[in-house]
Amino acid sequence: MKEDIKKWIWQHPNYPNFNYDKSQLSELISQIDYHRGILDGMTKLFNQDDIRKIQIDVLTDEAINTSLIEGEVFKRESVRSSFRKKLDKDFDALSDKYSTKATDNLVKILIDCSLNKNSLTIERLHGWHNCLFENNYSKLDKINVASFRKDDDMEVISGAIGFEKVHYKAIPVTKIPEYIKNFLEYCNTSSESIYITSAIAHLWFVSIHPYDDENGRISRAITDYILSKYSLNTEFKLYSISTAINSDRKAYYDILDKTTNLFLNRTFDITPWLIWHLNILKNAMQNALLNIEHLIQKTKFWDIHRNQPLNERQIKVLNKIFDVGNENFEGGLNTKKYMAITKVSKATATRDISELIEFECIKQVDGTAGRNVRYTINI
């Protein structure tokens, strides 16, 4: 009797012909198109070198955040160096001391899913998987690499030992070839909006769960692949969807649970998932626009101050604040923070700050004075 209970999305008789209400998506799609249009237009304000720097920053964010979602932490300088080796003509690869084999391999996947417009194939998916597991191990466990799993007992579980919670039980291995074939055909031939196609592909691949591990990271690479196929003015898209997902990781797992569990989704309706995914995409584009506006401000600032006799310490502090963002540089700049960043004495820090005020590079934050005085970049 227990075998007849249909709990998981792939057990629904209509799977994978997902049910959704497109009328609920039209407004969101219009908003995404609007933001994407602005994003494409803003790229015309930059030269190719600046565009390449933006792309490397976005790709670095994507690599770091898609890994963080899976619990893997990479150092930013390592990922960035791996991308620069591949994309920056001025990068001195022989002097590189930050990139690692793991970051190099992850970068290969993200560059391939962004630049390679050829059809998605099983061999290509296996290649991506191989990049993530060259040693055939996932932590302590030996796994099948560059091939689909061989075990039917594939479950997504969380919780401490003895208190595990099963979030999902994957498709039987005998069904994987058929479902992957249908999945790839959809990815390669869908005439649906790319925003809807990418969201469905994301959910569909996760629901098949064809690999022993890293199904989530590969599903997000597939999402990137679909969205990148239709980039207009640039080689790489200028927004990071994994960064937006990682900023609300709990909601990501919650909506996956609610969509893939038929006890919670009795109508086999994936509209809530699509709405969530489209909102994430919109957020990613909005964040990209803020980052580009920030870069424009930084460029204008240095155009004004490039001839000022600033020393290396002052330039380092100003760039540090720009990199973090005025609004995110908690508490503003003060003498103590200047000393911490530059490793100089209080007297030197005080003198440097006085010069920055004189050059009108920074200004005093309203309402601060004396020992509590704070400064912000003057833009």
Beta bridge partners of 116: none
Which range among 43-52, 53-62, 134-143, 353-362 shows the weakest confidence by mean pLDDT? 134-143
Domain count, the chain: 2
- CATH number of the domain bearing residue 317: 1.10.10.10
**Claim: this prediction has a pTM higher than 0.95:** no
| Residue 167 and residue 237 share a domain | yes
Q: Is residue 301 part of a domain?
A: no
- CATH number of the domain bearing residue 147: 1.10.3290.10
Q: Is it the case that residue 79 has pLDDT exceeding 90?
A: yes
- The SS3 of residue 138 is strand
Which range among 4-13, 31-40, 49-58, 226-235 shows the weakest confidence by mean pLDDT? 226-235
Q: Is residue 299 part of a domain?
A: no
Which range among 75-79, 235-239, 286-290, 355-359 shows the weakest confidence by mean pLDDT? 235-239
- The average pLDDT across 64-92 equals 94
| Residue 252 and residue 345 share a domain | no
Q: Is it the case that residue 231 has pLDDT exceeding 70?
A: no
Residues 6+ apart with CB under 8 A from 14: 268
CA-angle at 281, arms to 115 and 298, nearest 5°: 75
Residues 6+ apart with CB under 8 A from 355: 310, 314
Between residues 142 and 290, the one the model is more confident about? 290
Residues of the chain with pLDDT > 90, as a percent, come to: 75
DSSP label of 2: G
Give the C-alpha separation, 17 to 270, whole Å.
10
Which range among 40-54, 88-102, 236-250 shows the weakest confidence by mean pLDDT? 40-54
What single-letter amino acid sits at 366? D
* Tens-digit pLDDT profile for residues 105-135: 999 999 999 999 999 999 999 999 999 987 7
pLDDT tier at 139 (50, 70, 90 boundaries)? low
- The average pLDDT across 328-354 equals 92
- The average pLDDT across 190-213 equals 97
pLDDT tier at 1 (50, 70, 90 boundaries)? very low
Q: Is residue 346 part of a domain?
A: yes
- The average pLDDT across 277-288 equals 97
- The average pLDDT across 231-248 equals 86
Q: Is residue 92 part of a domain?
A: yes
Q: Kindly report the average pLDDT of the chain as a whole number.
A: 92
- The SS3 of residue 375 is strand
Q: Is it the case that residue 49 has pLDDT exceeding 70?
A: yes
DSSP label of 265: -
* Tens-digit pLDDT profile for residues 148-175: 999 888 888 888 787 878 899 999 999 9
Nearest to 301 by CA among 281, 286, 282, 323: 323
Residue whose pair of structure tokens reads 């296996």 in the numeric block: 126
The domain of 120 spans 2-294
Residues 6+ apart with CB under 8 A from 67: 73, 74, 106, 217
**Can you give the pLDDT at residue 323?**
79
CA-angle at 103, arms to 97 and 104, nearest 5°: 85
What single-letter amino acid sits at 186? Y
Which range among 26-35, 161-170, 307-316 shows the weakest confidence by mean pLDDT? 161-170
Give the C-alpha separation, 215 to 204, whole Å.
11
- The average pLDDT across 179-189 equals 97
Give the C-alpha separation, 134 to 40, whole Å.
37
Helix (H) or strand (E) holding 218: helix 215-228
**How crowded is residue 351: how many other Cβ atoms within 10 Å of its Cβ?**
12
Q: Is residue 215 part of a domain?
A: yes
Q: Is residue 348 part of a domain?
A: yes
| Residue 282 and residue 314 share a domain | no
